[in-house]
Amino acid sequence: MKEIKKQSEGKNYSAITVGEMNKLNEYVLNLAPGVDIPGKVFVGSALQTTGCDMSFQMFPEGSESGFLHTHKLNEEVYVFIKGQGEFQVDGKVFPIAEGSVVRVSPNGKRSVRNNGKEPIIMICIQYRVGESVGSVNASDGQILEDKVNW
């Protein structure tokens, strides 16, 4: 089984790699005894995130998540990097493809399937509902006078 590699770490950051996106299928997430999800890897722990968790996942051609799921406290944003397929929320099915972004509230019953001709690669960001950065967004950043030294 493939493992996350630490690239660098300091007081104010951590950097990791999951490797090449076309090799995500080498990861296996053990969700529960007897429930393994191939092609999925969570990275929040390795990154030491404090406000969200994030996973990468690959769905090979013809595959699907295989179950509906909800969350108790967390909202999710799915970012589709490659491939095409369908997403289902609360019984509504709609197409997704490279560039699609889907937000689902905790109670939304969700699932993904690949009905395309290449693997789907997606990133899922999970965070506590109601604790968004809200309207701050880009205005939270500060441009510094310090010079960048490469």
17-62 residue pLDDT tens: 999 999 999 999 988 888 888 999 999 999 999 989 999 999 999 9
Cα–Cα separations (whole angstroms), residue 141 to 50, 130, 134: 18, 21, 14
Phi and psi torsions of 80, nearest 5°? -95, 120
Domains and CATH numbers, the chain: 39-131 (2.60.120.10)
The mean pLDDT of the chain is: 92
114-133: pLDDT as tens digits:
999 999 999 999 998 876 66
Quick check: helix, strand or coil at residue 24? Answer: helix
